[in-house]
Amino acid sequence: MSSDFRSPCSESSPPEGVTSVQEDWTQLRTLLLAPEQTQLDEIRERLDNRVVQSEDVSHVLPEAFALRGDNDQQLSTVLTPYVENGLAASVRKSPRTIVDAIAPIIGPAIRQAIARALQSMTQSFNHSLDESVSMRGLRWRVEAWRTGKPFAEVVLLHRLRYRVEQVFLIHRETGLLLQHVATDGAVIQDQHVLSGMLTAIQNYVQDSFGGRQDQTLEQFQVGEWTVWSEQGSQAYLACVVRGTPPASLRDILCDALDHIHAQHTDALTHFVGDAAPFTTTQPHLESCLQAHYDSPPKQGSLKLWILLGLLLLGSAWWGWMTYQAHARWSNLLERLRNEPGLVVTEAKSAWGGYHLEGLRDPLARDPTAMVVEAGLEPTTVKAMWSPYYALDSPLVLARAQSILQPPTTVKLHIEGETLVATGSAPADWARETKRLAVLVPGVSQYRDDGLVTTSIPVLLDQINRTIIHFRSGSSTVEPAEQAVLDAVSTTLRELDRAVLPSGQRVAVEILGSTDTTGSVARNLQLSKQRAQAVLAILGEKRLGDGTALVTGTVRLSDQREATSEAGSQRIVTLRASLTVPEQIHGTARP
């Protein structure tokens, strides 16, 4: 009560007696109402003082949150944005604090999530492996190949007992879609159209069968999918299920729907088309995405394992043999392509055999031998070779030697397209070779600058003019005469090579002679000994097979005539001639 209370009397100054009465009333009022007035003043001061109010509110705020949170979830909805903003600001300001605070929770959660993911991956791999090595798995692989679906998807479809693929949260009064969730790989059309269709079906069933408002269509079949409906007071759930779900699925749907109604009562009651407040219902809807698969058999058939083992062994053996055959075939083709005189124009490998076509020089190596060297059976390789003249230097040289038939003293070689002859050869062969060399395929020029030609008459004359001198009464060849015999042996070898193409042979008669001193018998014996000594030395010179050596002596009358002309004769002479083999008589060389 304030002290400025006024009496309803006139505002003019009261009489003195009246003033005394008013003061008495004031004192009495003060005595009676002073404690209450003091309390009211304190209350007014506390109401006007914001600091005092904040302190008072802080004392009852936790209990107020607890009481309001037990009744409904509106307090959580209101505080959620502020808590999120505060957490975001704290993360920006001091992220380390948040990390340290949630590390004890996040660490085990991450490890548990990784362990579950690895366990799930291992189980999935084991299931796929089990199904891959069974007859059922083989059939499913054929189905996957035929339909073009992944093998894992086919396995899941066959092992699937049931799977909730989509969940719709629909407003019951308006039929509008509030929220929708689906599994990976689900066939998702326009969710809003589908929710409207479900509501239309519900209304049609109620109108057609005259049902009450609480009587609704709980499920219906659409192809391989079943649609389950769970009704609530203001919203209902529609689930698209593949397979045959158990009755316990309805309990899960009811729990999710009850939580949604409890947390979003105001939003459902005052719904005017804005579905944004219902984004927080996704966890409840995702809890309805249940699935169950049949477990594969624990053990496979022993016969099946044996059969698969045999198939694997057979496949491994077949693969190894195929690899070996391919390697041998490739080796053969490489050899043929690198071989002079062979050109492979077509090479094909067929089941059980091989086919070759190409060109082959007549002087090239036999391809059949190369087939054997490559490790293939000649009967498995069918080859068709067409003849041609190769221009490879080794084959051109071999062709020239085959056509020209050079003596052993002649060496031929190829320089580009020029045939070069060196050594020594008869004049007839050298002359004929000049005419024929350019006719050899692959030879465009012939050069014989290094070829020495020899004449048979000249060689015979050189041999016939040979004289070997002896000392008087001796049949031993002097060292000085060894050089003469070396030259004779060289000439005999050249003569033998020169006459070889004609089929003739060289016959050399070694004639020993003496002077007139001594008896006739002694001189005759000495002549033979001297001829034999020369024969022995020439026999060691390895003359050609076409040379025949015979010995003889000079007649006594011839020796006397020679003595009268030359004084004394202590010599051995050679007489060479050409003859056919049947005409050679006398003593053959040792």
Residue type, 115: A
Residue type, 260: I
Give the 3-state secondary structure of residue 187: coil
387 C-beta neighbours (distance < 10 Å), count: 9
pLDDT at site 15: 57
Give the 3-state secondary structure of residue 543: coil
Give the 3-state secondary structure of residue 107: helix
Rounded (5°) CA angle 67-69-75:
120
Helices and strands, number each (H, E), in the chain: 18, 16
pTM exceeds 0.75: no
Encoded tokens for 242:
């593949």
pLDDT at site 353: 84
In contact, 407 and 421? CB cutoff 8 Å:
no
- The 3-state secondary structure of 340-373 reads CCEEEEEEEEECCEEEEEEEECCCCCCHHHHHHH
- The 3-state secondary structure of 263-285 reads HCHHHHHCCCCCCHHHHHHHHHH
In contact, 385 and 359? CB cutoff 8 Å:
yes
Query: What fold is seen in the domain 456-583?
Result: 60s Ribosomal Protein L30; Chain: A; (3.30.1330)
CA distance 254 to 572: 142
> Domain 141-293 class?
alpha beta
pLDDT in tens, the chain (590 residues): 434 444 444 444 555 555 677 777 777 777 777 777 778 877 777 777 665 566 667 667 777 777 766 656 677 777 778 788 887 887 777 777 777 777 667 767 777 778 777 766 666 555 555 555 566 667 777 777 787 777 666 666 666 678 888 899 988 888 888 888 988 767 666 667 777 777 777 777 666 665 565 667 777 887 778 888 888 888 888 888 888 888 888 889 899 989 998 888 888 888 888 888 888 888 999 999 888 877 655 555 567 778 888 889 999 998 888 888 888 888 988 988 888 888 888 888 877 788 888 999 888 888 888 888 888 888 888 889 899 888 888 888 998 988 888 888 789 998 888 999 988 777 778 888 888 888 888 888 998 888 777 777 777 888 888 888 888 888 788 888 888 888 888 888 877 777 776 677 778 888 888 777 778 888 888 888 888 888 888 878 766 665 666 666 655 444 544 444 444 456 777 776 666 555 444 433 33
Encoded tokens for 469:
């001198």
Q: Is 34 exposed, middle or buried (0-12, 13-18, 19+ CB in 10 A)?
A: exposed
The pairing of beta strand 219-222 with beta strand 177-182: unpaired
pLDDT at site 587: 39
Q: Give me the CATH code for the 393-454 domain, please.
A: 3.30.1340.30
pLDDT at site 156: 65
pLDDT at site 306: 84
CA distance 404 to 431: 11
| Domain edges within the chain | 16-48, 94-125, 141-293, 306-383, 393-454, 456-583
CA distance 210 to 212: 7
CA distance 515 to 560: 8
User: C-alpha dihedral over 96, 98, 103, 105, to 10 degrees?
Assistant: 180
Q: End-to-end CA distance of the chain, in Å?
A: 175
